[in-house]
Amino acid sequence: MYRALLQRLLLILGFLLPGTWVLQAQFTNQGEFTILADTEVGIFDAIENTISGTIINDGALFSYSHFNNNGIMDFTTGGELHFEGSALQMISGTGENFLYDLHFNNTSAVSPFELSGNISVGHIANFNEGILNNIDFGGSITFEEDADHTNTSDLSHVNGKVIKYGENSFIFPIGDNGQYRPANITAPQEILDSYTGQYVLENSNSSYPHDLKTDLILQINNTEYWTIERNSGSSDVVLSLSWDKDTSPDFITNADPASLHIVRWDAERGFWVDEGGILNAADQTITTIASVSGYGVFTLATVEVDEVLPGGLVPYNAVSPNSNGENDVFRIDGLERFPNNTVEIFNSWGVSVFKTSGYNNADNAFRGFSKGNFTMNNSEPLPTGTYFYVLNYEYSENGSAARTVRKAGFLYIDAN
């Protein structure tokens, strides 16, 4: 009796003292309510924060039913919001939910969380169990600068779009139809840069025809695709995707790994283009050879591994910067016939060490020395090792309109 009366009084005053508090009835807030640090509050009925309501959560709030916020939900020093239960939980409202730590733990169904509201994660989202579905309900989840997630799996991820702000690398915790299929971007350059990622377990062919592609692309993944959009900023990122026997077609999972690349639908030109591919067989991922050339729809594809390119171009993948007359430059036979070209070379960390236009195998050619944003002496040859090149050139056949051919591959530098 005393505890219930004290609880009611403290709710009226707008705060709860440190300790553990359990509310069995619906909780409606119309004013200002603060959960102090070292305070745990469990609410078993619906939570309703009205348009005039403000909830500051620096403790731990456990929601066991629906959660509707039309006001302000925020924190000052950090707190936890736990969605727990064994029945459907709707997360709704027009207000923004600024949360520090977020926990999803619901065992009721394949997609127990219906998100029509807006969530911003400031620190960690723990996907313990339960899929957060926003694709069918119009909600959003945003990871702010330094925010991340843990425990993502087939049992718990986001079915729909995920937004990420900041200059840190990020793995989008996305999936579809009970399959967790993340996408990874490298660190953007600015804290206000923003990207959105989504995974779709569908054939992209009906919207993005697979027969419209550059010559080097053979077969395009016909069961799944990802969308990566840049919402704000000007940074470009390197993208990693993966293949999986449960979602990817056999011609992808059984392909020669050297032939697997990431491809992108180029909306302006109306066909699929090759973004290149660096293989990591251990975790079954493919990474673009450099920053992506655009944004939108991505998937995996097999590509022609023959080193003879359209127009008869042949790249040679070895450079020995010792001026002995053998392999002194990175040679691409025939490229002088296509002066509208670019060549960029990256080290194994994805750092550009050379970039030029109008590459010609002579006075404008790569000789094993840095010509980019690299932290080494430009008068010294680059260290021995494997590098990567990206070649773009315009090619026209039999009087047809010129098109851009994009080729990415390995380049070995022997500085000894």
Residue-wise pLDDT tens digits, 217-231: 899 999 999 999 999
Residue 267: both structure tokens together: 């909306």
Residue 19: both structure tokens together: 């300790």
Residues sharing a CB contact under 8 Å with residue 206, sequence separation 6 or more, in sequence order: none
Residue 162 pLDDT grade (very low, low, confident, very high; cuts 50, 70, 90):
very high
pLDDT in tens, 64-116: 999 999 999 999 999 999 999 999 999 999 998 999 999 999 999 888 999 99
Task: Specify the CATH class of 314-413 in words.
Answer: mainly beta
- pLDDT, residue 407, reads 80
HEC assignment per residue over 333-394: ECHHHCCCEEEEEECCCCCEEEEEECCCCCCCCCCCECECCCCCCCCCECCCEEEEEEEEEE
The H or E element that residue 3 is part of is: helix 2-13
- pLDDT, residue 406, reads 80
> Is the pLDDT assigned to residue 375 strictly greater than 50?
no
Neighbour count for residue 158 (Cβ, 10 Å) = 30
The H or E element that residue 51 is part of is: none
HSE of 82, CA atoms in CB hemisphere, 13 A: 15
HSE of 132, CA atoms in CB hemisphere, 13 A: 32
Cα gap 348→364, rounded to integer Å: 23
What average pLDDT does the structure give for the chain? Answer: 88
Q: pTM for this structure?
A: 0.76
Rounded to 5 degrees, φ, ψ at 237 are -125, 160
Contacts of 278-287 with C-beta under 8 Å, sequence gap 24+, read 278/388, 281/257, 283/242, 284/242, 284/243, 284/244, 285/184, 285/240, 285/241, 285/242, 286/240, 286/241, 286/242, 286/243, 286/260, 286/261, 286/262, 287/238, 287/239, 287/240, 287/262
Residue 306 pLDDT grade (very low, low, confident, very high; cuts 50, 70, 90):
low
- pLDDT, residue 324, reads 64
Confirm if 300 and 261 have CB atoms less than 8 A apart. Answer: yes
Residues sharing a CB contact under 8 Å with residue 13, sequence separation 6 or more, in sequence order: none
Q: Parse the chain into domains and list their residue ranges.
A: 1-160, 197-305, 314-413
Q: What is the mean pLDDT of residues 253-273?
A: 89
- pLDDT, residue 2, reads 40
- pLDDT, residue 315, reads 85
Q: What is the mean pLDDT of residues 343-367?
A: 87
Residue 394: both structure tokens together: 């315009």
Q: Higher-confidence residue: 416 or 158? A: 158
Q: Which of 363, 360, 362 shows the shortest CA–CA distance to 393?
A: 360
pLDDT in tens, 38-53: 999 999 999 999 999 9
> Is the pLDDT assigned to residue 280 strictly greater than 90?
no
Residue 244: both structure tokens together: 């999986």
Cα gap 290→345, rounded to integer Å: 9
Cα gap 398→249, rounded to integer Å: 35
- Taking only Cα atoms into account, the Rg of the chain, rounded to an integer number of angstroms, comes to 26
- Lowest-pLDDT range, 49-58, 142-151, 208-217, 371-380? 371-380
Residue percentage of the chain with pLDDT more than 90: 57
pLDDT in tens, 1-60: 444 444 554 454 455 556 666 666 788 999 999 999 999 999 999 999 999 999 999 999
Per DSSP, the residues of 76-95 read: SS--EEEEEESS-EEEE-SS
Cα gap 389→360, rounded to integer Å: 15
Confirm if 157 and 178 have CB atoms less than 8 A apart. Answer: no
- pLDDT, residue 225, reads 98
For residue 13, the 8-state DSSP code is: H
> Is the pLDDT assigned to residue 345 strictly greater than 80?
yes
